[in-house]
Structure 1
Amino acid sequence: MLAGLAGYVDGFAFVFLGGYFVSFMTGNTTRASVDVSQLSLVSAAFALTLIVAFVMGVMAGTLVPGDRARGQLRVLLLILSLVCAAAILAGFEWRWASGCCLAFAMGALNTVFARGGQVAFGVTYMTGALVKVGQGLVGAMRGQAGTGWPRHLLLWASIASGAVLGAAASAWIGQGALWIIAGALAVLLAISWIVRARPPRAGSVG
């Protein structure tokens, strides 16, 4: 679900920002480098600002206090707040500020499943996921069990389908498309809170 949400946000942002990304920092690095080579310094500065915002989001998500369960809820709340802020800013056509809020949010998103301060896996790292798919397929052809390639393929498919929806929503609805993802995040946050608030079931005896 988180990969799908990230894909939606990145698809929306790619259209809204005119070819820049808020979760795919390799793409922004290439854009910045090409812009510098062409002396398009304002465009390069925009790409670099998005990269800095993404890194700051990772830092903020890593610094969120609390145990793992509470930390996840607080990071999701932070992401929801940033997406809402981005939606408001987008309504005023403040693209730079809105893009930075979204990049910050996507950086924080990658820390949701952090363990001991380390990211267990990157929700938006699709190059790594595809590498795992390729390696897993080779392992499966060699008869190895538990290569896990379907899981990584599902992660890639989730972000790809989310990007399709985000780009389409941006074209059809405009800036208001961000409120759709804000609503989805609010629902996800509510479900996560309800699940974690349930008392643990007593173990069976016998």
Structure 2
Amino acid sequence: MTRQRRRSLIKAKRTGMGIALVAALSFIAGMTDAIGLRMSGDFVSFMTGNTTRAAMSLQDGNWGHTLKLLGAIATFVLGNAVGIVIAHRADNRIFAVLAAVGATLAVASVIPTTDLPLVQFYMVVLAMGMINAAVEHVEGLPIGLTYVTGALSRFGRGIGRWLIGERKMDWTIQIVPWLGMLSGALCGAVVGAYMDYASLWIVAAIVTLLAFITMLMPRSLRHRYNQGVTIRKMPAP
């Protein structure tokens, strides 16, 4: 086997594993978003929608709902930041992030919805923010797990480039998060309808199971799907 052939096979393996991971994580995000929407009436990962709804609520004079949604957006941003910190400090980044997501969802599932529904809502939003740090790119291609507008845009632009003669096909990976979220949302809608608030336990269990499955990944791949962080210290004055 030539060196070039070996490199191609290794890259194909990395890409395939990354795509499978993205599909699984997007499925979880879609499932959680559907369950969260049924529980709270608002999105737990679709912050574009929450931004628009916050503006509409503000125009209607519904200050309480506006503040709730702005709080969700801030919590989602915080979750992304926390996910990056966890990934940066852990040896197995994907496992650490998913374990934190699973633990957060498990805690949210036992919070009394009648007494602290807002706390439960924000904890689920926090978990959906954190999960984005599990996989940030696959072979240099940016990937969004809890939002698919950007992925669909990149997919459409890829079609446009193909139509004008470009034959690179790496853009096709962008449809994977959308398919994962769609199937997850359908599953979440069904589970949420039958299990109501207990359905969060199902999501927490799936995330935790996936976290342990990622432990089987080769050590050389554990940091492949996260953005590297270089910390530069300011020179002393």
TM category (shorter chain) comes to 0.7 to 0.9
Alpha-carbon spacing, 1:81–1:92, altered in 2? closer, same or farther (3 Å)? farther
Alpha-carbon spacing, 1:178–1:143, altered in 2? closer, same or farther (3 Å)? same
Does 2:123 correspond to 1:96?
no
Q: Distance in 2 between matches of 1:86 and 1:92?
A: 13
TM normalised by structure 2 equals: 0.75
Deviations 1:110-167 (A, max 9, x none): 111248xxx9432122110111111111222233222334311122111012111112
Map of 1:129 onto structure 2: 151
**Shift of residue 77, structure 1, vs aligned partner:** 1.0
- For residue 79 of structure 2, the aligned residue among 48, 57, 62 is 57
Map of 1:201 onto structure 2: none
- For residue 168 of structure 2, the aligned residue among 127, 146, 153 is 146
**Shift of residue 73, structure 1, vs aligned partner:** 1.5
- The answer to whether the Cα contact below 8 Å between 2:101 and 2:127 also exists between their aligned partners in 1 is yes
Between the two proteins, the alignment pairs up a number of residues equal to 194
Q: Distance in 1 between matches of 2:155 and 2:29?
A: 20
Give structure 1 stretches of 5+ with no counterpart.
Answer: 199-206
SS of aligned partner of 2:217: helix
Deviations 1:35-92 (A, max 9, x none): 1111101111111111111111011011126567522221111101111011112555
Map of 1:30 onto structure 2: 52
Q: Distance in 2 between matches of 1:180 and 1:187?
A: 11
Identity %: 28
Q: Distance in 2 between matches of 1:194 and 1:158?
A: 22
Q: Which amino acid aligns with 1:176?
A: A
Map of 2:64 onto structure 1: 42
Give structure 2 stretches of 5+ with no counterpart.
Answer: 1-23, 221-237
Give runs of aligned pairs for residues 1-206 of structure 1, distance below 5 A.
1-18=24-41, 20-64=42-86, 66=88, 70-89=92-111, 92=114, 94-114=116-136, 120-196=142-218
Q: Distance in 1 between matches of 2:74 and 2:33?
A: 16
Q: CA RMSD in A?
A: 2.2
Alpha-carbon spacing, 1:68–1:147, altered in 2? closer, same or farther (3 Å)? farther
Q: Distance in 1 between matches of 2:67 and 2:201?
A: 27
Q: Distance in 2 between matches of 1:12 and 1:93?
A: 19
- The answer to whether the Cα contact below 8 Å between 1:14 and 1:167 also exists between their aligned partners in 2 is no
Alpha-carbon spacing, 1:68–1:148, altered in 2? closer, same or farther (3 Å)? farther
Q: Distance in 1 between matches of 2:187 and 2:202?
A: 11
- The answer to whether the Cα contact below 8 Å between 1:90 and 1:175 also exists between their aligned partners in 2 is no
Large movers: runs of 4+ above 4 Å:
65-69, 90-93
Q: Distance in 2 between matches of 1:189 and 1:65?
A: 13
- The answer to whether the Cα contact below 8 Å between 2:87 and 2:97 also exists between their aligned partners in 1 is no
TM normalised by structure 1 equals: 0.85
Q: Which amino acid aligns with 1:169?
A: V
